[in-house]
Chains A and B, each alone.
Chain A
Amino acid sequence: MNRLKSWVTYLQVAPLALVFLLFLIVPIATIVVVSFFDYNTTQIIPTFVLQNYEELLLSPVTWRTYLQTIQFALITWALTLVIGFTVAYFVAFHVRSPTIQTVLFLLCTIPFWTSNVIRMISWIPFLGRHGLANTTLMNLGLIDQPLEFLLYSEFSVVLAYVHLYALFMVVPIFNSMMRIDRSLLEAARDAGATGWQTLVNVIVPLCKPGIAIGSIFVVTIVMGDFVTVRMMSGGLSASVGLMMANAMSLLQYPAAAANAVVLLLLVLFIVAAMMRLVDIRKEL
């Protein structure tokens, strides 16, 4: 009986495990293997060379691009954290009716289920040279010519990141907040804590798991991004993802693969550091 039961268990988990094996493990292994291959203008040559890594790590462009990507990730992380925490805090602690809480929460999450590419495009009428922002500012007499930095700049890239990924902070932090025992807050107040002291000494520490999960999402997505930088910077900014995409379009697959391995190691290192703060399995 027990034997049969364990067979059933394995059968139940098999489809999921198979997908991860075929479309996660094997492809990542392929990247690692190909990163040691040689190549010329027409084909990949299966051999073992370290040249791809040498070229990558000795190029100042690589270092600049990685720094730029990390900078995007840090700025986006800080902004989404502050915004996400504030929004979640309002819904979790200042809205009293559970129904309205659910409605407001859904209102924040619905954009997550719509297209990112479209959401980026939708900034064009706002930020363009003749967009809403510039026309409004000019009509108010605050500026006399259009601000050029609004669209196709680092500013618009960060704006799009925050717009797209703030939800990844709101949801886990809100989840952490809803699990906080409300009597703890009363105890804090009875002990004479002000609202601010309760926030800093009770709520923030108890939200750490949510903050960590949100941070992991935001940082890993921005680190691997390519389409946002491409679309929102108009080709003016670089990112690691974009660098790989460029190598791919030049058919330099092993070069792209080496870059992918370096990026993967960096991301795993960052995530491992953040995971020390939280046991994800306990959070479900």
Chain B
Amino acid sequence: MQHGKRGPAFWLLGAFFCLFVLFLYGPTLTILILSFQGPSGGLTFPMNGVSLHWFRNLFEKQMVGDFAGSLQRSMILGVAVMLVTVVASFSAGLAFRSRFRGSGIVFYLAIASLIVPSILISLGIGLLYRVLGWDPAWYSSAFGAHLTWTLPFGLLIMFAVFNRFDRRYEEASRDLGATSWQTLRHVVIPILLPSLIGVGLFGFTLSYDEFARSLYTAGTFNTLPLEIYGMTTNVTTPVLYALGTVTTGVSFIVIALSLLSVTWLRRRRARHGSDAGKAA
């Protein structure tokens, strides 16, 4: 099946694949178009003119809740979760290269963290704070709740990365007299940088979009997904779509930046060979 002319199976499967992509992206494209609906337009086609009316509407605080505030909170939270996810997963990935007592337990905790339904984590943290008499907040309890979702992904990615990592680079560095810290800083991190960016992408976007784990942990001030969810029950204008377009736009910018920087790093590496050690 790898050689020669394309058979009917190829075209059938290809058509199926195209339908799948259409299924994935079609609805999002529709709300993208509808968010530019004219001021008198409704939630469905036809378009009654084209305008930015609903985007302006979005940033007027009284109209649709606190969009700007929740966007800001979700951004800050996403960046914080991203930083902790990258550092903690990378560091744990280093630790897991040698067997240590309790490594099995930590590994299964990470798996458990992935498979325990999000709503249970949310409920558990919410109850814990209630029992202790603390107030849940997006920067404390929701922050922890998000980490239980992003860290397992980070750790599993680091496992895959270190399994393919050639340890001879480190040995060479050590033979040349580098300390462990210098080896890490000038050899390991530069080589793994594209993967670390990938982990960061997971950290930011999973946190930025997380709903269930924020539900009982965010406290008084909503994160963006909670705010959007609240709006779906009482907003029946295309402002909902404008919100969707802006949110998805942010996600796409983050994804594009990550992919571009990874591609750029790969290109640069291909041109210069490894620049590990050249850094100051």
Contact = CB atoms under 8 A, between A and B. Distances in A.
A87 B17 contact: yes
Q: Secondary structure of the B side of the interface?
A: helix
B120 A16 contact: no
Interface stretch (A28-36, A48-56, A60-68): A28-36
B96 A13 contact: yes
B52 interface: no
B255 A226 contact: no
B106 A221 contact: no
Interface string A185-198: 10001000001001
Given A16-B155, A96-B2, A121 B31 contact: yes
B127 A12 contact: no
Contact of A113 (B9, B125, B228, B251): B251
B176 interface: no
B218 interface: no
A9 B95 contact: yes
Interface of A is mostly: helix
Contacts, number: 264
A224 B44 contact: no
Contacts of B88: 15-16, 19
A117 to B, nearest CB: 5
Contacts of A19: 88, 144, 147-148, 151
B113 A20 contact: yes
B121 A113 contact: no
Interface string A102-131: 001011101101111111011111101011
A113 B205 contact: yes
B145 interface: yes
B106 A87 contact: no
A20 B109 contact: yes
Contact of A15 (B14, B92, B126): B92
Contact of A220 (B87, B117, B211): B117
A121 B23 CA distance: 14
Interface string B209-250: 101100110000000110011001000000011011001100
B106 A224 contact: no
B80 interface: no
Interface residues of B, number: 94
B209 A195 contact: no
Contact of B119 (A110, A166, A224): A224
A97 B97 CA distance: 34
A117 B28 contact: no
A231 B230 CA distance: 11
Interface in A124-152: 124-126, 128, 130-132, 135
B213 to A, nearest CB: 9
A16 B118 contact: no
B225 A117 contact: yes
B244 A121 contact: yes
Given A30-B127, A115-B247, A115-B251, 19 more contacts: A5-B98, A6-B100, A27-B124, A27-B127, A28-B116, A28-B121, A83-B20, A87-B16, A91-B17, A117-B225, A117-B228, A122-B27, A122-B244, A128-B43, A131-B44, A166-B24, A224-B117, A231-B232, A245-B215
Return the 8 tightest CB-CB contacts between A and B, nearest first.
Answer: A224-B117, A27-B124, A122-B27, A12-B95, A23-B144, A113-B205, A13-B95, A90-B13
